[in-house]
Chains A and B, each alone.
Chain A
Amino acid sequence: NAGVTQTPKFQVLKTGQSMTLQCAQDMNHEYMSWYRQDPGMGLRLIHYSVGAGITDQGEVPNGYNVSRSTTEDFPLRLLSAAPSQTSVYFCASGGLAGFTDTQYFGPGTRLTVL
Chain B
Amino acid sequence: DAKTTQPNSMESNEEEPVHLPCNHSTISGTDYIHWYRQLPSQGPEYVIHGLTSNVNNRMASLAIAEDRKSSTLILHRATLRDAAVYYCILSALSNYQLIWGAGTKLIIKP
Contacts and interface: CB of A to CB of B under 8 A. Distances in A.
Interface residues of B, number: 21
Contacts, number: 54
B93 to A, nearest CB: 5
A108 B96 contact: no
B32 A99 contact: yes
A106 B96 contact: no
A31 interface: yes
Interface residues of A, number: 27
A106 B43 CA distance: 6
A50 B95 CA distance: 10
Contacts of B32: 99-100
A41 B96 contact: no
Given A105-B44, A108-B43, A42 B96 contact: no
Contacts of A100: 32, 49, 51, 91
B58 to A, nearest CB: 14
Interface in A30-89: 31, 33, 35, 41-45, 48, 50, 56, 58-59
B100 A43 contact: yes
B100 A44 contact: yes
B102 A41 contact: yes
Contacts of A99: 32, 91-93, 96
B21 interface: no
A102 B96 contact: no
A110 to B, nearest CB: 9
Most buried by B among A4, A42, A48: A42
A43 B44 contact: yes
Most buried by A among B92, B100, B103: B100
B16 to A, nearest CB: 26
B45 A42 contact: no
The 3 A-B pairs at the shortest CB distance, nearest first, are namely A105-B43, A42-B100, A102-B46
Interface of B: 32, 36, 42-46, 49, 51, 87, 91-93, 95-98, 100-103
